[in-house]
Structure 1
């Protein structure tokens, strides 16, 4: 099963400020939802709770504390391994990692792909996308939109299992 990270990232790696994204890009939100539709998505608890209508077909919420969720298709996971096991049990060949910052960091060594919306400029924020070594990745596609660019990166070297 492939793991794909999807994030909107400013030039200074900012992805959020509190529980908000510091920019408004409706076209990015649209392409983001279309990309992950039909697949399970993996979130940290705070990120999951930010969504009134989370994207994806099933929601895997990574949290240290086990919880019940108000959606039938929401699942608790206490580790990266457990999140992957749950996604595999759903019969999928791909799951999307959607944040927040700590979740991106935990999953970074396990990713097969990254789909990064590159937001021009630097923003103030308290949540960052993890640094990564471009030597381990290949930029396979760049798609320009008005006000942002979407890059698709494939891992060159083997990921951690």
Structure 2
């Protein structure tokens, strides 16, 4: 079974994007840790997010969820129609982990299915048109928090209702 990890940069007010762009000035340390984390594994993303990253595609492969497009002109891109299809593609690629990297609707679709979250908590509130989905704190345990300049990296693991860790090892 593929471990699903949601990776996002989230402002204090939950905003993750504005018109396809980050709403805050670039944070090089966050971009560096993000790219290093996802570099060798497939990423799951929506078509608009995929299109916005065409000049520098993330991950070892891209699993693109789209209702309107089913093929892409990038050798590493694969189509998926839904969560189950995306997981099946990741498994067919031999992946142990697949990273869910947005946009907002994709995060929302995958939130009930992800095993872990790696959230860069960007200091400050920003205007934007895309939010990270809410989640029930009782379902998650904060296992690591690392402060950086302008953001704090949080690692969350899903737990069952009895408090036992259900995340993959």
> How would you bin the TM-score normalised by the shorter chain?
over 0.9
1:35 is aligned to 2:37? yes
Identify the match of residue 82 of structure 1 among 82, 85, 88. Answer: 85
Which residue of 1 is the match for residue 146 of structure 2?
Answer: 143
Q: How far has the Cα of 1:34 moved from its partner?
A: 0.2
After TM superposition, what 4+ stretches of structure 1 lie above 3 angstroms from structure 2?
Answer: none
1:118-155 per-residue CA deviation (whole Å, 9 max, x = no partner) reads 01111100000000111100000111111111000000
> TM-score when scaled to structure 2?
0.91
Structure 2 unaligned regions, length at least 5? 161-165
1:45-70 per-residue CA deviation (whole Å, 9 max, x = no partner) reads 00011111121000000011233211
Which residue of 2 is the match for residue 154 of structure 1?
Answer: 157
Contact 1:113-1:155 at 8 Å conserved across structures: yes
1:10 is aligned to 2:36? no
Which residue of 2 is the match for residue 20 of structure 1?
Answer: 21
Could you say what the CA RMSD is over the residues aligned between the two structures, in angstroms?
Answer: 1.1
Structure 1 unaligned regions, length at least 5? none
Number of aligned residues? 159
Matches of 2:48 and 2:57, distance apart in 1: 12
Identify the match of residue 50 of structure 2 among 35, 41, 48. Answer: 48
Which residue of 2 is the match for residue 73 of structure 1?
Answer: 76
Which residue of 2 is the match for residue 64 of structure 1?
Answer: 67
1:22-77 per-residue CA deviation (whole Å, 9 max, x = no partner) reads 11211111110000111000000000111111210000000112332111110010
